[in-house]
Chain A
Amino acid sequence: MQASLDTVWTWLGEIPDPEIPVISLADLGIIRDVGYDDDRLVVTVTPTYSGCPATSIIALDIETELLKRGAQKVEIRQQLSPAWTTDWISQEGREKLRAFGIAPPAMAAANCAGMLKAQNVACPHCGSEDTENISPRGSTPCKAQFRCRSCMEPFDYFKAI
């Protein structure tokens, strides 16, 4: 008996991102499609940053988890186009990031054109917008390091891309 696609999406919503485990792979917006090809469950995934070391772990995590939940055969397909954007991070995912202490992307990716200065970042701890960029890169390529001038706490910012 094949699990319904809705059920599979629910499962994917419960698999944590390996680098930022507070949000799920579904929240991150990298699952582009789920479907059956005969008896194989095919999950189409798009990478976040092209060099993100989590990409291969993510594929392994999806396969392992779906097999554990009862899927018989799982195939992971990589899809490059359209390129992933932080605009695809769900509203719920953004709230989870903030609660965890990571400021979510402050604007739509198309409006920032890679310019960190264009992004008005609010502190995830106190909400103040009086923040400053310390480094354009953080603990992972997708983040930048910021500091809040109001509560003085440093924090990671998930850059719009």
Chain B
Amino acid sequence: MMDPFVTFCLRMGDNALILAQRTGEWCGHAPALEEDIAFANMGLDLIGQTQLWLKLGGEAEGKGRSADDLAFLRTERQFYNCQLVEQPNVDFAHALMRQYLFDAWHLPMLDGLTQSSDERVRAIAAKVIKEVRYHIDRSRDLVIGLGDGTDESRARMQGALDELWPFTADLLSSDAIDDELIARGILPDPAPVIEAFRAETAATFAAARLSVPDTGLTRTGGRNGIHTEHMGFILAEMQYLQRTYPGVSW
């Protein structure tokens, strides 16, 4: 088993990295210029956050791997992002709903991490949370506007929620690795994070006139390297250059 602290850094960094790839796909394709810029810019924030977490993970691991090495030279089973962030864009509704569900977890998680017993984790969380407050400010507004919008926008937002909700189980899950880091005070107690996620999403979906599906379906595994079929395609594109020309730089 990998070192728990390194795994935690990779989980945080991989979430940001893979979501950044998905948001970046909107560059030049979003339904409005303003949203095109917004998605691309948020992708930039997420790449910056990735660099912070993967750099820390690489340093903690002590094998001389840089953030770039970790991003470009690991294989699918070695990525620990939750399955939610790798889900395809499909349409603007799916991309927004994915972003909102992630933000609704990311914000309280980072809030907890600003109290971490690890100084380096505290520093990253305090930096990143400022950016993520702006992320959820936007995604929440749009989920409400489009959910409580036209018949078409509402149907699409509900469809996206139905499809993506099961993946929130992955975001909120915890395992022995988390337990150890919680005991060491590095990670926050999961209960308040889950409670904040539930309160945030309940209020927003009520305002958006959207309903959480009651199927009880859950999807988990991403945090342990088990991914959906979409993940390999993301890596194939993202890692293409380093795999074709190993060690190339400019």
Contacts and interface: CB of A to CB of B under 8 A. Distances in A.
Interface of A: 47, 49-53, 80-85, 109, 113-117, 134-141, 145, 159, 161
B48 A50 contact: yes
Given A50-B128, A83-B127, A134 B34 contact: yes
B45 interface: yes
Contacts of A145: 34, 37
Most chain A C-beta atoms within 10 Å of own C-beta, residue among B34, B119, B130:
B130
Contacts of B45: 49-51, 141
25 contacts: A47-B48, A49-B45, A50-B45, A50-B51, A50-B52, A51-B44, A51-B46, A51-B47, A80-B52, A80-B123, A80-B127, A81-B122, A81-B123, A81-B126, A114-B134, A114-B136, A114-B137, A116-B137, A135-B35, A137-B37, A137-B38, A141-B41, A141-B45, A141-B131, A145-B34
B7 interface: no
B234 interface: no
Contacts of B131: 49-50, 141, 161
Contacts of A134: 34
A134 B34 CA distance: 7
Contacts of B138: 136-137
Interface residues of B, number: 29
A84 to B, nearest CB: 8
Contacts of B132: 114
Nearest to B38: A137
A136 B35 CA distance: 9
B49 interface: yes
Contact of A135 (B37, B127, B137): B37
Contacts of A53: 44
